[in-house]
Chains A and B, each alone.
Chain A
Amino acid sequence: MIQLYAYATSKLETSWLHTFKSLLAFLLSCSSLCLAQEPISIVTTTTILADTAKIIAGPSGRVAFLMGPGVDPHLYKASPNDLRTLTQAAIIFHHGLHLEGTIAEALKRLASRKLVVAVADSLPREKLRVVSGDGATYDPHVWFDISLWMLCADTIRETLARYDPEHAHEYSRRFDELRSSLNDLNSWTRLQIEAIPPAQRLLITAHDAFGYFGRAYGLEVLAIQGVSTESEASLRSINDLVSTIVTRKVPAIFIENTISPKTVEALIQGAEARGHSVKIGGLLLGDSLGDAGTPEETYIGTVRHNVQTITAALTDSELRRTP
């Protein structure tokens, strides 16, 4: 029986081998075609990074993010699902500078196997805001200084070009487009903020996500909590802020999408008790972009939203109407 089988296969061998070879060739060509077309798998931590990476990568990248809108990156803890997403990625972009407090360890471990890029870490140190006395801790919320964010975007472009040199020119082209619209946004923002009366250029918000924004556009920024959302607002800091609000007649303070509005309410009530009415100026998007499907789902949309909210609340005040 075995002999019969061997005979049959030897007879069939030539034709079989032929089909098999052609099939293999087809499959190979197919897969190489697929490889060429397969977009680079990019994973970012925040929506802010995801938006910019998406723009620069264009069709050659597929971008996923871990922290959705309204998620606080300081307190975010990685789930097993996230780790799977991260291990499947080709490139991982995160902010660095300790923004992602709890996920940093996981990223550090992945760095030996993957291209893990801390976008804000590449910024020149002299451009960063120091937040602690030892001079070694920097404010990670760089994205609201548009010129700094352009540098970050350039890091993203460079990383992509290094990983996929074939399309480097395309990345450069998209980056240039992005840069010109960011330049427009930058000058627009400057104009908007300059329209606020100088005495009222005081931004009080729940936590310190707007330090760079204030520095870049000439707003004084006071935060209710520290740089990270983890620290509790102490009675002393709330009292100091109430005094500031009352003495400088601040018309509005702002809440953020990742912060409990409770502390802000405490400030409003405190000022109320001292005879100064301060209102909630609106919701600023601090540590993430807005919800998908809204104009704020992009970086540019978010910046516009924040700037408009701030200027509207700080300009349109009782103080200004009364001569």
Chain B
Amino acid sequence: MSLIEHLTSYNALIVLIGTAILGLACGVVGTFTVLRERALIGDCVAHAALPGITIAFLTFHNRSFMVLFLGAIVAGLVSAWCISIICSFTRLKSDSAIAIVLSCSFGLGLTLSRMIQNTPRGASAGLDSFIFGKAASISSSDVVTISCVAAVTIIATLLLRKEFALLCFDRHFATTQGYPVKLLDILLMTLVCLCTAAGLPAVGAVMVVALLIFPAATARLWTDSLSKVLILAGGFGGISCVGGVIASAAVPTSIAPTGLPTGPLIVLCAALLFVVSFLLAPRHGAFMAQLKGRSQAHG
């Protein structure tokens, strides 16, 4: 089978479409996460999805994506809430609070999944795939879910673009204008949770945060306009996913006889885009900065 044949097969198309839509949504939502300086909370929410999934599985004895998905979202919101509780009731700064909640929830998740794994009639198979993701086995029903989530999050983000921008730029000013910043924060967190949960079957809890952060950070290097950052971040997210899938199919069998897993390649693709942009972007790139510095020194 040639590479083109590999990529135009039904399964590849499903994976391509599913991950591309996911990357698009993550890029758009991730923009505000990065601008709100909430990147690590995204990571925390993603890790909290693991206990969410296991608890949902233990409660409902159901492995359907919808049940696990809801579990992940609820757990994500609870973890975000825990962070704000820890921040407001202790003297800890948010980075410590995030570290605490992240490690706690991941620990809880691993313990619970071990419990499931070792119990008879475990049928835990498939839960593991939420830690690292199994992009290659995305099914058409997953694509439907991902598309719905993507539609909701992208539309919500674009509708609330003005409010989110105000929230991220000047929280106090937003309050004095009568905008409920707490509610806006919760809304943004919910969108992050939705994206994270939708991304779990594709790239897994450990790496989904990369899809939130890399595209936005990359886009920020290319432009100073928020609208363009949003568009570019969506684009970079989609491109990273498509690139990862293509790379996974293109790796010659001589290097990896069974092929390379798709999820990590997607993340590497996003990272590659970032590095290239970091070096070459016209205004904020390292290369251009060098060039500018030299011309200034000469002039």
A interface residues (Cβ-Cβ under 8 A, vs B): 67-72, 75-77, 79, 82, 226, 229, 231-240, 242-243, 257-263, 265-267, 269-270, 272-274, 291-292
Contacts and interface: CB of A to CB of B under 8 A. Distances in A.
A79 B118 contact: yes
A226 B260 CA distance: 12
Interface in B1-29: 1, 5-6, 9-12, 14-15
A-B pairs, 9 with minimum CB distance: A234-B259, A260-B126, A68-B120, A273-B10, A236-B259, A232-B261, A263-B137, A270-B11, A260-B125
Contact of A70 (B121, B128, B138, B245): B121
Nearest to B261: A232
Given A68-B122, A233-B137, A240 B1 contact: yes
Nearest to B141: A265
Given A232-B134, A243-B1, A238 B117 contact: no
A75 B248 CA distance: 24
Contacts of A226: 258
B79 interface: no
Nearest to B248: A235
A53 B120 CA distance: 20
B177 interface: no
29 contacts: A67-B118, A69-B121, A70-B121, A70-B122, A72-B117, A75-B128, A234-B259, A234-B262, A235-B11, A235-B135, A235-B136, A235-B259, A236-B6, A236-B248, A236-B251, A237-B259, A238-B136, A238-B137, A239-B11, A239-B249, A242-B11, A261-B126, A263-B136, A267-B11, A269-B14, A270-B11, A272-B10, A273-B10, A274-B10
A235 B7 CA distance: 9
Given A75-B128, A266-B11, A234 B260 contact: yes
Contacts of A69: 120-121
Given A70-B121, A237-B259, A260-B126, A232 B139 contact: no
A257 B119 contact: no
Contacts of A262: 126, 129, 134, 137, 139, 201
B155 interface: no
Nearest to B126: A260
A262 B117 CA distance: 18
Interface of B: 1, 5-6, 9-12, 14-15, 63, 114, 117-126, 128-129, 132, 134-140, 201, 245, 248-249, 251, 253, 256, 258-263
A72 B125 contact: yes
B136 A233 contact: yes
Contacts of A267: 11
Interface centre among A71, A82, A236, A274, by most chain B C-beta atoms within 10 angstroms, is A236
B106 to A, nearest CB: 15
Nearest to B5: A239
Interface centre among B119, B136, B256, by most chain A C-beta atoms within 10 angstroms, is B136
A266 B139 contact: yes
A238 B15 CA distance: 11
B114 A79 contact: yes
Nearest to B115: A79
A291 B120 contact: yes
B11 A265 contact: no
Contacts of A259: 125
B4 to A, nearest CB: 12
Contacts of B126: 260-262
Contacts of B137: 233, 238, 260, 262-263, 265-266
A231 B258 CA distance: 9
Given A238-B137, A274-B10, A70 B123 contact: yes
Contacts of A257: 123
Given A236-B248, A236-B249, A269 B121 contact: no
Contact of A235 (B6, B122, B201, B253): B6
B78 to A, nearest CB: 26
Given A72-B117, A270-B10, A232 B132 contact: yes
Given A75-B117, A79-B118, A258-B125, A234 B261 contact: yes
A262 B127 CA distance: 11
Nearest to A81: B118
A83 to B, nearest CB: 13
Contacts of B117: 71-72, 75-77
A235 B14 contact: no
Contacts of B120: 68-71, 291-292
A260 B138 CA distance: 12
Contact of A234 (B14, B124, B125, B258): B258
A76 to B, nearest CB: 7
Interface centre among A69, A231, A262, A292, by most chain B C-beta atoms within 10 angstroms, is A262
A291 B121 contact: yes
Contacts of B261: 231-232, 234
Interface centre among A82, A234, A261, A263, by most chain B C-beta atoms within 10 angstroms, is A234
Nearest to B142: A262
Nearest to A72: B125
Given A68-B120, A71-B122, A243-B1, A266 B249 contact: no
Nearest to B128: A75
B11 A76 contact: no
Contacts of A70: 120-123
A249 to B, nearest CB: 17
B252 to A, nearest CB: 10
Contacts of A260: 63, 125-126, 129, 134, 137
